[in-house]
Structures are given as structure tokens and as C-alpha cells.
Amino acid sequence: MHQTFEAGLGINLLHANQAGADHNRAHFDEWGITCLNIMSSPGAGKTVLLEKTIAALNDELKIAVIEGDMTTELDAERLRQYGVPVIAINTGRSCHLDSKMVAGGIHQLEGQYEPKEFDLVLVENVGNLVCPAEFEVGEHFKVALLSVTEGEDKPLKYPIMFQEADCLLITKIDLAPYLDIDIDRIAGNVRQMNPHVAIAPVSAKTGEGLDIWFDWVRQVVNRQQRSLALASVSK
């Protein structure tokens, strides 16, 4: 549960959340980990994307998952089958992960593993196109998914998510032939408000476009590790 923004309260909460997110990010930086915050509406395909990503990249990158859900460990259980550590966080009545919840996940990871061994932490947020975009959890990059079944107008109607995203995956493109939808128009609507976002239309079912996404992940992990190496040399 959550409230509307009033009486300065919202601002204080966002400040406190931001401080916690910066703290989490400092941990990730210390360990040489790149963290991605994966966000979308319910059912846009976050979990299947993580399944495909882990299967494709697990040989070259050491991956862990922090899995946010209101209730159940259904998604966490799906991902554990791929042999990676999955820390499940149940948010209860909360409609998004916040930095405090993810800090709890990080401490669990730290208690059970050597965090410096990991290259990539994938945070799967609660399915919600609104609230997660406002609560940083310590990620280096935000990844938004929008299913073609959700319609062309969604970037205009839910702008914050699409303004904040570093990467947008337009998912379930195998269903596009059965819909009255123009993928280029979706991409255009998003670029209008966020010119630098990386956009890849993908289908987890057919595999189309996934290579572009995997390359984007490789690149950001690489770039992040190089910049951390430079920062430690310059100390």
C-alpha cells in the first residue's frame, strides 16, 4: 500500500530511499557488480527474460538475482532452476521494491556467497508500470519492458517509467501480427521523451531480438567494470 504525494512527506521518503539506494550502489561498486533494475507491468515477461538471459550469459558472467514479489516465491523458484542464487523478497502490501528491501537482499547474498565473485545482479521488481520507476534500489541501469499487447499509448500515459529507462525491451513481438499495433510508433513515442534510451523489440518465445539485449547487457557490465577499474587506479 502507498499514499499520494502530500505535505512534503513524499519528498522526505524519496530522499531516505535515495540515500539507501546510494548505499546499495556503493556496495555493488566495491564488489565490481553491475546491477540492473528490471521493471514492467504485470505479465510483460520479466521472469522469462531473466530465464533466457541467465541461460545465455551464465557461462561468461557470474549472475545473482534479487526477486521482488508481493507474495509467493513462484518466480524465484523458476529462476533457481538455472543454478544461480536467487534472493526472494516478498513486499507484502507494497507495490514496489525500495532500497531498504534490496539492502536486505544484498545482506543475504553477502551472508551466503562471496559477493566479489559476481559480475551482475538482476533485480526483478514488482509488476507495476508506475511506482517502481520512482524508487531507486541501487541499480546502475534501469530496464523497462513493455509488451506489444499493452498498446502504443502506454509510454504517453505512464511517462515516468519510460523517461527513466536506460533500456526498453518491447516484448512479445511474436503476437504483433494478431494486434493492431505499430512497434515503430511505440519506439518513437518513447524516444520523444527519452532520446538516449536503447530500444530492442524482442520475443522470448521465438528468440527474436534477444541477441541485441544480451549484447547490451555485456556492454554495460564491461563498461561498468572498466570505469570501476579506472576509479580504483586513480585513487
CB of 217 to a second copy, least distance (A): 24
Closer to a second copy by CB, 6 or 114: give it: 6
Stretch that binds a second copy, among 79-87, 153-161, 208-216, 222-230 (CB under 8 A): 153-161
* DSSP one-letter string for 137-151: -S-SEEEEEEEGGG-
Considering only residues 59, 93, 195, 230, which one is a binding residue for a second copy as defined by CB under 8 A? Answer: 93
Closer to a second copy by CB, 76 or 197: give it: 76
Helix locations, the chain, DSSP H: 9-31, 46-57, 74-80, 99-112, 154-157, 159-164, 183-193, 210-233
CA distance from start to end of the chain = 44
Whole-angstrom distance, CA of residue 76 vs CA of residue 87: 7
8 binds a second copy (CB under 8 A): no
Binding residue count for a second copy, defined by CB under 8 A: 48
Closer to a second copy by CB, 193 or 231: give it: 193
Whole-angstrom distance, CA of residue 14 vs CA of residue 231: 28
CB of 54 to a second copy, least distance (A): 19
Binding mask 166-205 for a second copy (x = CB under 8 A): ------x-xx--xx--------------------------
Closer to a second copy by CB, 115 or 132: give it: 132
Closer to a second copy by CB, 11 or 231: give it: 11
Considering only residues 2, 15, 107, 116, which one is a binding residue for a second copy as defined by CB under 8 A? Answer: 2
| Residue 36: closest CA among 218, 200, 176, 205 | 218
15 binds a second copy (CB under 8 A): no
List 143's β-bridge partners, or say none: 38, 167
158 binds a second copy (CB under 8 A): yes
| Residue 175: closest CA among 201, 144, 213 | 201
Considering only residues 134, 183, 198, 212, which one is a binding residue for a second copy as defined by CB under 8 A? Answer: 134
Helix locations, 58-182, DSSP H: 74-80, 99-112, 154-157, 159-164
Whole-angstrom distance, CA of residue 77 vs CA of residue 51: 11
Whole-angstrom distance, CA of residue 119 vs CA of residue 33: 5
Footprint of a second copy (CB under 8 A): 1-5, 9-10, 13-14, 41-43, 69-72, 74-75, 91-96, 98, 126-131, 134, 147, 149-151, 153-154, 156-160, 172, 174-175, 178-179
